[in-house]
Amino acid sequence: MKGLLSIVFLSALLVSCGSKVLEPDDEIVCSLCDNWNEPQKPFRLYGNSWYVGTSGLSSILIADGEHLILIDGGLPQSAAPIEANIRAAGFDPLAISAILVSHAHFDHAGGIAALQRLSGADVFTSAAAAKVLRSGNLQDDDPQYRVGHEKTGFPAIASVRFVGDGEVMTFGGVSIRAVYTPGHSPGGVTWTWESCVLGTCYDIVYADSLTAVSADGYRFSDGRAANQLIASASVIADLDCDILLSPHPFFFGMHAKLERRDDGNPFVNNVACTIYAETALDWLRQRLRAESGLDVPAPDIRIGS
């Protein structure tokens, strides 16, 4: 009888210590959330770099031997499809050792708390964004800040480490550099790394958002965000950049490029970062012109200015 009880106890212990499962947080509701979270099959971008996000929210997996690095986590409801995509690509999400964050908005940081609980990964971002991620609340210097957690908040992340501007982190054979690019948010970070296949290496840039998007009532012409966007666009334009990625796949033309994959790798384009930066500055010009309320030409803003 004593032996039987021991077996029952051991069986119960094994069940309680079974493989970890994703524990998603409550969904965030917004006008675009359902469209952003439409499913997208994972695919290899180049070499060790994979797209594992949803149709409208990027999440990038860098796989180097035993090391898995994830960039961005979408909405809270994106965590489950991201996990499923990582598995579908042939990797174990429990093996993620680091999660990197571009900027601390609900549509890119919302799923990170759940993915961190699942994997136990360290979370890295800029010094300014780390404070936001730990609290789950935007600060009042963010153009998208609104009074009230429920409007701009997301699940707080238990443990966040910050990296300095230009700092390089190495995971196995992968070195990833953090480049501060504020403006869209005060703590924005662009991440860069090199991926090689059979001696052919490309510089990959996960360029942070550069759009002049804000809460109602915010004026880019009154704050420092416009100057930050101009400076960040210049920084991104000057990066070594063969493959451009960004937090929203629309901005690097993902869906159109996937339709052309039979003709080679359409993601390789060494002027894509410059085009991305120039397009962002054009949007900023239009925003500043609209804020002026006058029928005047848009201000002259150029790369390097």
| Ramachandran assignment for 102, one of left (phi > 0), alpha (psi -120 to 50 degrees), beta (any other) | alpha
Instruction: Determine contact, residues 270/233, Cβ cutoff 8 Å.
Output: no
Q: Is 222 a catalytic residue?
A: no
Instruction: Determine contact, residues 17/59, Cβ cutoff 8 Å.
Output: no
Q: Is 92 a catalytic residue?
A: no
Q: Is 255 a catalytic residue?
A: no
Q: Which residues lie closer than 8 Å to 62 by C-beta, 6 or more apart? A: 48, 49, 50, 68, 69, 70, 71, 171, 174, 176, 193, 195
Pairing of strands 96-100, 122-125: parallel
Q: Which of 105, 202, 208, 242 is catalytic?
A: 105
Q: What is the 3-state secondary structure (H, E, C) of the chain?
A: CHHHHHHHHHHHHHHHCCCCCCCCCCCCCCCCHHHHCCCCCCEEEECCEEECCCCCCCCEEEEECCEEEEECCECHHHHHHHHHHHHHCCCCHHHEEEEECCCCCHHHHCCHHHHHHHHCCEEEECHHHHHHHHHCCCCCCCCCCCCCHHHHCCCCCCCEEECCCCCEEEECCEEEEEEECCCCCCCCEEEEEEEEECCEEEEEEECCCCCCCCCCCCCHHHCCHHHHHHHHHHHHHCCCCCEEECCCHHHHCHHHHHCCHHHCCCCECCCHHHHHHHHHHHHHHHHHHHHHCCCCCCCCCCCCC
Q: Which of 51, 108, 206, 208 is catalytic?
A: 108
Q: Is 184 a catalytic residue?
A: yes
Q: Is 107 a catalytic residue?
A: yes
Q: Which of 184, 208, 242, 276 is catalytic?
A: 184
Q: Which of 25, 46, 103, 145 is catalytic?
A: 103
Q: Which of 107, 142, 208, 242 is catalytic?
A: 107
Q: Is 149 a catalytic residue?
A: no
Residues carrying an active site annotation: 103, 105, 107-108, 184, 218, 248
